């Protein structure tokens, strides 16, 4: 089992004729994902190695019955791309684009309130259900079908945790990079709720970082709602206050959002917190009694 993405997912790639869009569209297809269409305004009627290109998402959806979108559109146009996919009725949108202005994402958030579309990202590596489908830029070969769900604000730390879990023979049910921007479409609690409902996810790895209060809110939710073991890790412990570290949302301000506060919240909720990235996998194995 998996959440949100499986072998029936049909993907349209917005920005498929750009170099990154084409590269990752073909990479997802090579992994086994059903990449059924691409969209680039003004280039309808073309194809990318057999993938038909349309001028709009609505045209692509009518022709291909796509139910998910992967967005590789430059930052000034990415918010419009998200809203176009939602307006066309696409159920899942994965926005890889980084650098989208916060003001644009405020418009997207308001728009999505009136649409049932789930947005993952922006500024994220995407989502993968190993052995079934991937939508994003993650290296598929390090993943293995299994029982551990992974949710993370950090792309690279996601890969590190996945590699450890794979080498331990545990595998993953679904791995989701929610992105490190201040206004993500999907948050920790959304994802944890999905894993809670998946009977084949036996444990969850949660990778957070400094800035904001998402990890503290997730900890409170876990304590009240999730009876599966959770292992956490907080990146950015050595970051000085007031300095942004990599992600737009990873900034300590006014004494809030520190690694210490987040670690304490996770621990108080009964979540095992790994002391270093190298201990994430073995901590999950111990939590599962493996």
From the candidates 24, 141, 143, 247, give the one annotated as an active-site residue.
247
Chain-centroid distance of CA 222 in Å reads 19
Report d(CA 147, CA 131) in Å as an integer. Answer: 13
Residue 132 in 3-state DSSP?
coil
247 is catalytic: yes
Alpha helices in the chain (DSSP H): 19-31, 57-64, 75-87, 102-112, 155-167, 188-197, 214-225, 259-268, 280-287
Q: What is the largest CA-CA distance in the chain?
A: 56
Instruction: Kindly state the tokens that stand for 276.
Output: 């270093």
Please report, for residues 26, 41, 49, 68, the alpha-carbon distance to residue 52 in angstroms, rounded to integers and kept in the order given.
13, 13, 8, 16
Would you tell me the crossing angle of helices 75-87 and 57-64 to the nearest 10 degrees? Answer: 40
Report d(CA 67, CA 165) in Å as an integer. Answer: 30
Catalytic residues: 247
């Amino acid at each position: 089992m998996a959440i949100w993405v499986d072998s029936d997912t049909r993907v349209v790639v917005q920005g498929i004729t750009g170099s990154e869009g084409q590269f990752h569209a073909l990479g997802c297809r090579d992994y086994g994902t059903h990449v059924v269409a691409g969209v680039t305004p003004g280039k309808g009627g073309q194809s990318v190695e057999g993938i038909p290109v349309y001028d709009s998402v609505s045209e692509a959806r009518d022709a291909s019955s796509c139910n998910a979108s992967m967005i590789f559109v430059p930052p000034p146009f990415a918010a419009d791309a998200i809203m176009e996919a939602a307006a066309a009725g696409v159920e899942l949108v994965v926005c890889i684009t980084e650098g989208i202005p916060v003001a644009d994402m405020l418009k997207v958030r308001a728009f999505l309130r009136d649409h049932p579309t789930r947005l993952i990202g922006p500024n994220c590596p995407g989502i993968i259900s190993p052995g079934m489908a991937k939508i994003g830029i993650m290296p598929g070969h390090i993943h293995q079908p299994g029982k551990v769900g992974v949710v993370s604000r950090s792309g690279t730390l996601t890969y590190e945790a996945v590699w450890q879990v794979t080498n331990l023979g545990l595998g993953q049910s679904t791995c989701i990079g929610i992105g490190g921007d201040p206004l993500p479409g999907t948050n920790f609690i959304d994802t944890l709720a999905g894993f809670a409902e998946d009977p084949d996810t036996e444990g969850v790895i949660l990778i957070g970082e400094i800035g904001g209060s998402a990890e503290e809110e997730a900890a409170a939710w876990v304590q009240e709602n999730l009876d599966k073991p959770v292992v956490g890790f907080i990146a950015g412990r050595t970051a000085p206050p007031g300095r942004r570290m990599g992600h737009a949302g990873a900034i300590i301000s006014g004494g809030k959002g520190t690694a210490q506060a987040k670690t304490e919240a996770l621990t108080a909720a009964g979540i095992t917190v790994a002391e270093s990235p190298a201990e994430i996998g073995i901590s999950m194995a111990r939590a599962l009694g493996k």
